[in-house]
């Protein structure tokens, strides 16, 4: 019977178990948005997970929307990530880089030369962004011109190549959580009238072009994708999410990706407050390895795997607070509680100082 401790093969990536570390922004990059030796230790500590998905990592300078998020678009960043992948591999782990462009979820203070953030359409998101100098209101982004999109697609492929140069086992294209590719997918944020807007087929076009280019660059067996069909995070929604994401998932099948990572639910809300969506339908449609993500504990994860509802389960806060989560699950040991106050600040505190069982 398949369970959390069963090995798996996701494309070209061999997993020792089916516990996946979900992508978790930690805001601890150094100068130049370069990963630090502290990041190498953080990920090394969690290398017993079958697969680590890194914090979201901007593909270009314009892709940044938060302070101190590590990029993958300069030689220094590539070298910084090489320290991370070396540390994880030396500990016997596997690690994939999550490729990110925030789109409109940014601010001129975080953009090169103070330019406007870009988006599918010039629609300002509700809320504020932390700029490093306090909270500021989001601005109205600049709508990307049709002729700019090929260069954007190429930036994803180039970032994937950079990830391979940094020693990663694969990449995950971030197409969820209200960021740029998700903004193109959703009807509330995409009001374009060109070939990239309107119908679900048009709204999915950019994502599918990005996936094609990334797979062509490094091989589909090392590429995954994150989707989050109903999360309202970053002020977006869709008129018919089931129809939209059924279409997207069906179109991904011919690529033979390493995995599809589906973030279920609506952020940190309990399951009874999740917006309606049939995730089992996605499972039926998708022909590859499926990771289910959000709100799982040991028992519900085991049940999902044994029923065939998923091929692996991603854990976020549990792995953040329990670097040896796999061993704790094996032993039925107590879990460390996460320190929410240090999620995005604190350097080593709340980052590399969570105790292991032997401590």
Gap between the Cα atoms of 184 and 108, Å rounded = 21
Q: Which of 312, 316, 263 is nearest to 288 (CA)?
A: 312
Please, are residues 196 and 77 in contact by the beta-carbon 8 Å criterion? no
E strand map for the chain: 8-10, 13-15, 19-21, 51-58, 95-100, 118-119, 128-130, 135-137, 142-143, 170-174, 223-227, 259-263, 290-293, 312-315
Tokens standing for 117? 């953030």
| Helix 37-45 vs helix 75-90: crossing angle, to nearest 10 | 30
Tokens standing for 52? 């680590």
Gap between the Cα atoms of 301 and 129, Å rounded = 34
Please, are residues 76 and 61 in contact by the beta-carbon 8 Å criterion? no
Catalytic residue among 179, 286, 351, 354: 179
Active-site residue 156, yes or no?
A: no
Please, are residues 58 and 103 in contact by the beta-carbon 8 Å criterion? no
Q: Which letter does DSSP use for residue 34 in this model?
A: B
**What amino acid positions are annotated as catalytic residues?**
179
């Amino acid at each position: 019977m398949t369970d959390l401790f069963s090995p798996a093969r996701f494309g070209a990536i061999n997993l020792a178990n089916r516990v996946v570390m979900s992508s978790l922004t930690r805001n601890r990059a150094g100068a130049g948005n370069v990963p630090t030796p502290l990041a190498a230790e953080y990920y090394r500590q969690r290398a017993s997970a079958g697969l680590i998905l890194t914090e979201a990592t901007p593909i270009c300078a314009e892709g940044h929307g938060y302070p101190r998020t590590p990029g993958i678009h300069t030689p220094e960043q590539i070298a910084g990530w090489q320290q991370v992948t070396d540390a994880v591999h030396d500990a016997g782990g596997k690690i994939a880089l999550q490729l990110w462009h925030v789109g409109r979820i940014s601010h001129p203070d975080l953009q090169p030369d103070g330019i406007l953030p870009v988006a599918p359409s010039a629609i300002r998101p509700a809320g504020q962004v932390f700029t490093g100098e306090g909270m500021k209101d989001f601005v109205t982004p600049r709508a990307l011109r049709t002729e700019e999109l090929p260069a954007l697609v190429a930036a994803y492929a180039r970032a994937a190549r950079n990830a391979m140069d940094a020693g990663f086992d694969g990449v995950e294209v971030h197409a969820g959580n209200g960021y740029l590719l998700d903004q193109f997918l959703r009807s509330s944020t995409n009001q374009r009238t060109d070939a990239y807007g309107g119908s679900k087929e048009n709204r999915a076009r950019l994502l599918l072009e990005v996936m094609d280019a990334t797979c062509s660059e490094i091989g589909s067996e090392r590429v995954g994708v994150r989707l989050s069909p109903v999360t309202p995070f970053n002020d977006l929604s869709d008129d018919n999410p089931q129809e939209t994401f059924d279409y997207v998932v069906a179109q991904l099948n011919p690529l033979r990706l390493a995995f599809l990572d589906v973030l279920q639910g609506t952020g940190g809300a309990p399951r009874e407050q999740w917006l309606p969506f049939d995730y089992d339908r996605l499972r039926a449609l998708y022909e590859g390895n499926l990771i289910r993500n959000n709100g799982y504990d040991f028992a519900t994860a085991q049940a999902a795997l044994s029923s065939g509802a998923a091929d692996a389960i991603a854990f976020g806060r549990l792995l953040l607070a329990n670097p040896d989560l796999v061993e704790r699950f094996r032993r039925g040991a107590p879990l460390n509680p996460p320190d929410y106050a240090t999620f995005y600040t604190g350097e080593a505190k709340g980052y590399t100082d969570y105790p292991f069982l032997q401590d």
